[in-house]
Every structure is written in C-alpha cells, then in structure tokens.
Structure 1
Amino acid sequence: MHHYSQNTALPLWPNKIPNSQESGEEEIVISEDIIRISKVQNPTIEVYLPAKKIATGQAVLIFPGGGYQILAYDWEGTDFAKLLNSKGIAGIVVKYRLPNSKSVTEKHKVPLQDAQRAIRLVRSMAKEWNISPDNIGILGFSAGGHLAATLGTRYNEEVYAKTDAIDQESARPNFMALIYPVISMAAPHTHQGSKTALLGEAPSQGLTAHFSNELHVNRDTPPTFLVHANDDAAVPVENSLLFYTALRKYNIPSEIHIYPFGGHGFALGLSNDHLASWTKQWIGWLSNL
C-alpha cells in the first residue's frame, strides 16, 4: 500500500453506504469549462500527497461547492490539492453524496455522514500517508463551506452507526477554511438553493436551526479562516460575519478576509491580483497554526 500513485480515489464506505438505496441512478460527470459532478453514487476521497522531501505533515480535506446539487470538482477541488502539494501539504478531495440523489434516504444527514467518514479515513491512514494525525484540517467552498462548518461544529454528532475501526477515529478537524461559505439556513441570509436542496421545501424551525452553523460554535470549535467578497450576490457576506462573530464570542483564534469585489465562486481568484492574494494569506495562516 505504500506506493500511492498520485490521486488514488478510495471509497469512503467499503461495505454498505449508510442512508442509501438502490435506485438505478447513475453518477453524471460533465467536463466543460469546469468538471461538474452530480448524482454521486459512490463517495470517495481522491488523495494528492506532496513529495516526501517537502512534506510538512499537514493535510487538508477539500469540499467543493455547488449548492448541494453538484460538485465543482476541479475548480474548488483538485486545483487546490495541487496548490497545497506545492507547499508540502497533502490535499484530499472529498466527493461527497448530494441530497438531490434518488439513491439517498434522510437526505439532510448524508453530506455530514460522508464528511465525518472522510476525515476519519484520512486519520486512520495518517502514518501511511506521512500525515500528522493532529494536523488535519478542512477547506470548503460555498455549500461545501456549509458542509465543512457543519463538520467543524458537529464532528461529535452520531449521524451513522459505527461499522469498523476507522469509525473509532476522531472526526474533529484541527482547523477550517471556509470560502464564501453558506453558514446560516435562516432568513434573511441563507442561500435558498442550498437550503432547499439539503432540508427540503418547508423545513421545520428545528431543522433550520440545527443546520445554521453559527448557532453551534462552542469553545471546542477549531481555528477558522474565512474569505468572502462584499459583493457576493448568491451567498451574502453576513454568512461569514455571523460565523466570525460566534467564533469571537468563544475566543477561537480565527482570521477573516472580506474583499470588496469578487462576487461568488471565484475559487483561486486568478482573474484579479488582489483577490488572488487570499491563498497566500491562507497558506501563511496554515504554517503558523
């Protein structure tokens, strides 16, 4: 097992996938300007390891965005794994199941099940992959940022029955980066598309509150790095501000960058030198944790 070729995709669940049913549905991968994956059937992690000579021992699990309807798999996924590798950091892209698939039951639980399992799987492989088990963090974009923030606040919640030794590992990320994230599921700041996809047309107040991550920060929430553009018309900047305010209340060491322009979904931000500086700020923050 030691000779991991780059980007080996490993299934998250070797046996039965929780909250899944036979549907005959097939996964769809559309490669146009970016790779968009929908109807995920078999969730995986795709592992990009840096050269041993430069490895820092740090690892980041990456949750692409796409409104809980698709995954922007290269744009907010593999491109970042490659960036991280160049800095000696392992980058692990999580292909998580989406609630709009016919193959899933109890839809709102499914992304968090995959997220918890993914970080446990990486921890269980830490030695093998030259990763420090207490230096494993997460990066999420948009709806993937909502999933990352859910994992960072609900890593202890039992959302699936433990099946094997991997499930004994901690699901707590050691740090989080949330990039133009959906945080709240409540009016007026939520992203309606993500909310409807995850929670359905008319969720109860209880369910809405349960997935409004700003309400679940506590003193054990990991250090967090937030990035948002002020002119984001899809996911209002208030999402990041609400989360940052909650982190401050508990004195969680965190950093926030609000850019005046950038809109939503800018990823590496390469169209604008100023916006593109966020990844440099983030890598600096990672090395100082």
Structure 2
Amino acid sequence: MSTFFFGATVLAQDTIMPLWPKDKIPNRIESDEKEEHVSEDIVRISKVQEPTIEVYLPAKKNATGQAMLIFPGGGYGILAYDWEGTDIAKFLNGKGIAGIVVKYRLPSDKSQTEKWNVPLIDAQRALRLVRSKAKDFNIASDKIGIIGFSAGGHLASTLGTHFEEKVYDQIDEADAQSARPDFMALIYPVITFTKSTKHSGSQKNLLGENPTQEMLKHFSNELQVTSETPPTLLVHATDDPGVPVENSLMFFQALKDKNVSATMHVYPKGGHGFSLARKDPHLRGWTEQLFEWMESLN
C-alpha cells in the first residue's frame, strides 16, 4: 500500500491520504486516546485520531468518471472498515467507479470539542478534498456521490442535508470546493432521532446523554431535506431489528415532498448490517440496483 500526502500524484490503486494537515485538525484536543484496530470476522476501527481517505481507482480504461465516498457504519462507536468500507470500494471498482473509504473521526468527549459536529466536519472535508483532486483521480468533479451504511448512512444523510452548514474554518484551497454530493445512496441508514424508530445507540454516541430537542431535530435528517438535497437511493430490509425500516421510509417521504429524485428498494428479509449480501441470492441484488440507478443519473 502506498501513502501519499497533499499535492502528490496518485499512482497506486489504494492510496491513503490524510484529510487534514496534522496540526490543523478541527475540534481536536490533545489526549492519550489512541486509534484501535480489532480484526476478527471484520475489521473494526475505533478512536480515530487522524482521519483519512483510502482511494481505490479502477483501471483508466474501465473508469466511468463516477466516484463514491464510502462511510462505514458502526453506531458512531466503531467503523466496520472492511465490511462496509474497503470491500465496497473494491466492488465499485469492478464497475469502473472510484471507491473512496472515509475513515472519519467518531465522537469523543476526550479528544474533541463539540463532538456532535466532528463526523460532519470530516465528511465535508472528504468531499471537498476528493473534488479538488478529481483530475488526479481521473473522475468527473460533478459525478461524486456518497454511500453510507447504518450510522454511516446517518452521516451520509447529514452531509446530503447539511453540506452548506459552516462547521469549520477554511484551511486551504480544497475547502473552497462545494461539499454537496452529486448523489447519495443510504443503505439501512439511521435517519431520525425524534421518532420511536430511532437508533438510540447512534444518538447517544453522537449527541451524548442529554441532548436538547433542538439538537435532536437538527440531526434528524428527515426534517432537514430541501430541494437542494441530492438524488437519493435508499435500501432497507423490512425485518431490520436494529434500525427500523421506517428510517428510510421517512427520508423517502421527505425527499418526495421536496420534489427530490428518490428511489427506494425495501426487501422483506435481510436484517441489519448485510453489506454486499453476497450469500443471499435475493438480497444481493441491491448492488445491481445501485449500479443501474447510478447509470440512470448520467
């Protein structure tokens, strides 16, 4: 694996780049907290201190010009980094799409100020950084989408609805780019914090023990949809025990109400956290639906 820093030409299929110059990471507090990696059935990353993007590029001859930033889930407590990250990027590469995994910071009282804004800060920066490097990555600057899983779906939907919100000060030319995704795929996403169908674990990790009603509404993304929210694909299983399907249904309705292009695939079975669902002949069809939808956007 090759690691490149700002201004470097991307030569490798899998390039890891820091989101921020080391001494300019917003909302960071120096602490003894250290990033942890646990590799068992999947790779779980927690306590991220220095967020990165990991870039997977298809061969130039296969490239469609589209790219997707990938936000792994994990309830804002961990990142399911390969299961809902690097495996997704490699899968996208097979269809000529650049896959860019965002290792975003998880909310921490110990190493951050205003922890509830930190994932969005990193998400905005990731989109802007990728857009600024579109030529290097052989992608079109107006074909950069996002895909998020579970709590990563909450972060993706937050970026898709709060992309104009100023949550950090510009540090370089990349920050002059728009943070608006061109399209958005939300896979079994956490959406609401105000309804009984919310995912309490994600809410607690992001907003703390006693969030105000105002904060709960601010991060209930079905309430934040506007006509500028990007075209969206939603995928969910009806029998999801962790994040009820109502999260996707509410977001779909909000998009429809604002006349935003919305596509939804609801499967009768699949539970939660199915990733590519390669072992389920019916459910794994969601990935082909994703590619067909992405082609329809062109």
Q: Which TM-score band applies after superposition, normalised by the shorter structure?
A: over 0.9
1:10 aligns with 17
- TM-score, normalization by structure 1: 0.98
| TM superposition shift of 1:102 | 2.1
Mapped to 2, the partners of 1:257 and 1:176 lie a distance apart of 14
In 2, distance between residues paired with 1:90 and 1:47? 7
1:133 to 130, 136, 141: 141
Tell me the residue number matched to 1:74: 82
Q: Does 1:248 align with 2:231?
A: no
Deviations 1:4-24 (A, max 9, x none): 212111000014100001111
Contact 2:10 2:137 in 1 (8 A): no
Find the aligned partners of 1:243 and 1:256 in 2 and give their Cα distance: 10
**Is residue 156 of structure 1 aligned with residue 164 of structure 2?**
yes
Q: Give the letter aligned to residue 16 of structure 2.
A: A
Secondary structure at 2:254 match in 1: helix
TM-score, length basis structure 2? 0.96
Measured against aligned partners, the alpha-carbon deviations of 1:1-50 in whole angstroms (never above 9, x if no partner) come to 43521211100001410000111111000111100000001000000011
2-side partners of 1:53 and 1:169: how far apart? 27
Q: State the SS of the aligned residue for 2:54.
A: strand
Q: State the SS of the aligned residue for 2:235.
A: strand
State how far apart, in whole Å, the 2-side matches of 1:100 and 1:106 are: 9
**Unmatched runs of 5 consecutive residues or more in structure 1:** none
Show structure 2 runs of 5+ residues with no match.
Answer: 1-7
User: For residues 1-289 of structure 1, what are the structure 2 equivalents within 5 Å?
Assistant: 1-14=8-21, 15-100=23-108, 102-289=110-297
Amino acid at match of 2:270: G
Q: Which amino acid aligns with 1:100?
A: S
**2:52 alignment partner AA:** T
Give, as a single letter, the amino acid of the residue that structure 2 aligns with 1:132: A
> Aligned letter for 1:83?
F
The answer (yes or no) to whether the contact 1:69–1:100 under 8 Å persists in 2 is no
What is the CA distance between 1:100 and its match in structure 2? 3.2
What is the identity, as a one-letter code, of the residue corresponding to 2:14? Answer: N
SS in 2 for 1:37: strand
- Give distance in 2, aligned partners of 1:3 and 1:197: 35
C-alpha contact 1:62 1:140 (8 A) present in aligned 2: yes
The share of aligned pairs that are identical, in percent, is 64
Q: Which amino acid aligns with 2:34?
A: E
Deviation at 1:101, TM superposition (A): 6.0
Q: Which moved more, 1:191-200 or 1:92-101?
A: 92-101
Letter in 2 for 1:111: P
RMSD: 0.9
For these two proteins, the number of residue pairs brought into alignment is: 289
SS at match of 2:24: coil
3-state SS of the aligned residue for 1:128? Answer: helix
CA shift for structure 1 position 250:
1.4
Cα separation, 2, equivalents of 1:105 and 1:92: 27
Q: Secondary structure at the match of 1:45?
A: strand
Return the letter of the residue paired with 2:121. Answer: Q
